[in-house]
């Protein structure tokens, strides 16, 4: 099967590392364990890779597959600096970078399927490289979620800018809930699923997460004519959100990150 994907432009990024604690718990529950050999799809600069490396330990291995040469160089440099030897980064596409006979105990990805024109084809290709009994585990966003209680109009407006920008860029903002049907579409069992989010009052991480997302995407927000820099006032946005949350005594929940995992049918091959 010929599968290609475009690297995620830097202007369409989500600060996935904000969800690192949720991701770590998800991976542990899914079954990532010491000694496993894991393939990470679209590894970027390695945030998820290094969580995986910690979970599989020095006796395991993590292979990060990434089309951006710049991201691979950055990730490898971080690994070298930290002395993490159980990771390897491969600068290639899905079909170019995985030899047909190379198999893994698990394939993992975070906030990557949402950017693909044909996520089912990519997921099927990746699952073909997981051993019987092995694990397929992905986390994706549900950007349709996220709100304040009671309502704070500035937060609603900022979330609206974010959602509309993703939509106009052709990105699936509801990929998280679709993981259940996507797994089954490619022949995997119905997955177990978990949901996580940031939630709290005016001192919580939510205002910073939302502001940083818009800051990264600001050039695209303007290019797609969703809003202007003058409307957003990015340099003061986080402070204004916190002030209005405090004044309203409101809590804010972030967009949700939804994880799904399933095992390849069959028993593991004898060692």
Confidence grade of residue 3 (pLDDT, cut at 50, 70, 90): very low
**Mean pLDDT score, 203-215:** 93
Place of tokens 């604690």: 21
**Mean pLDDT score, 111-126:** 94
Residue 267 has pLDDT above 80, yes or no: no
Give the H/E segment covering residue 155.
helix 153-168
Q: What whole-number percentage of the chain has pLDDT above 70?
A: 91
Residue 54 has pLDDT above 70, yes or no: yes
Residue 2 has pLDDT above 50, yes or no: no
| CA gap 144, 121 in Å, rounded | 24
Which pair of structure tokens corresponds to residue 54? 């910690």
Q: What is the pLDDT of residues 148-166, one digit of tens each?
A: 999 999 999 999 999 999 9
Count the residues in the chain. Answer: 271
**Mean pLDDT score, 237-241:** 97
CA distances from 51 to 15, 37, 89, 153 (A): 15, 14, 14, 36
Instruction: Give pLDDT, residue 16.
Output: 65
| 48 touches 110 (CB < 8 A) | yes
Instruction: Give pLDDT, residue 1.
Output: 35
Residue 225 has pLDDT above 80, yes or no: yes
pTM for this one?
0.90
Give the H/E segment covering residue 108.
strand 104-110
Residue 11 has pLDDT above 50, yes or no: no
Q: What whole-number percentage of the chain has pLDDT above 90?
A: 85
- Side-chain-side CA neighbours of residue 211 (13 Å): 16
Residue 18 has pLDDT above 80, yes or no: no
Classify burial at 187, counting beta carbons within 10 Å of its beta carbon; exposed 0-12, middle 13-18, buried 19 or more.
exposed
Instruction: Give pLDDT, residue 42.
Output: 93
Instruction: Give pLDDT, residue 174.
Output: 95
Instruction: Give pLDDT, residue 14.
Output: 54
Domain definitions of the chain by residue range? 10-263
Domain range 10-263, CATH architecture: 3-Layer(aba) Sandwich (3.40)
**Mean pLDDT score, 64-74:** 93
Residue 10 has pLDDT above 70, yes or no: no
| Neighbour count for residue 170 (Cβ, 10 Å) | 9
């Amino acid at each position: 099967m010929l599968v290609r994907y475009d690297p995620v432009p830097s202007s369409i990024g989500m600060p996935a590392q904000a969800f690192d604690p949720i991701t770590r718990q998800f991976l542990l529950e899914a079954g990532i364990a010491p000694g496993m050999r894991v393939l990470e799809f679209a590894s970027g600069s390695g945030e998820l890779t290094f969580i995986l490396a910690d979970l599989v330990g020095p006796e395991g291995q993590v292979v990060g597959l990434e089309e951006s040469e710049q991201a691979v160089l950055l990730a490898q440099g971080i690994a070298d600096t930290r002395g993490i030897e159980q990771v390897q980064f491969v600068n290639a596409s899905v079909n170019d970078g995985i030899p047909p006979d190379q198999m893994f105990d698990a394939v993992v990805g975070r906030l990557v399927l949402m950017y693909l024109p044909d996520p089912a084809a990519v997921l099927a290709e990746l699952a073909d490289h997981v051993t019987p009994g092995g694990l397929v585990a992905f986390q994706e966003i549900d950007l349709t979620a996220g709100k304040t209680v009671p309502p704070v109009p500035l937060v609603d407006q900022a979330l609206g800018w974010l959602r509309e920008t993703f939509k106009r860029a052709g990105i699936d903002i509801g990929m998280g809930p679709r993981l259940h049907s996507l797994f089954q579409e490619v022949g995997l069992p119905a997955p177990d699923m978990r949901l996580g989010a940031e939630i709290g009052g005016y001192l919580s991480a939510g205002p910073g997460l939302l502001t940083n997302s818009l800051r990264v995407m600001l050039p695209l927000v303007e290019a797609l004519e969703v809003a202007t820099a003058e409307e957003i006032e990015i340099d003061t946005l986080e402070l204004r959100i916190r002030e209005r949350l405090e004044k309203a005594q409101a809590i804010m929940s972030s967009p949700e990150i939804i994880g799904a995992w399933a095992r390849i049918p069959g028993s593991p091959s004898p060692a």
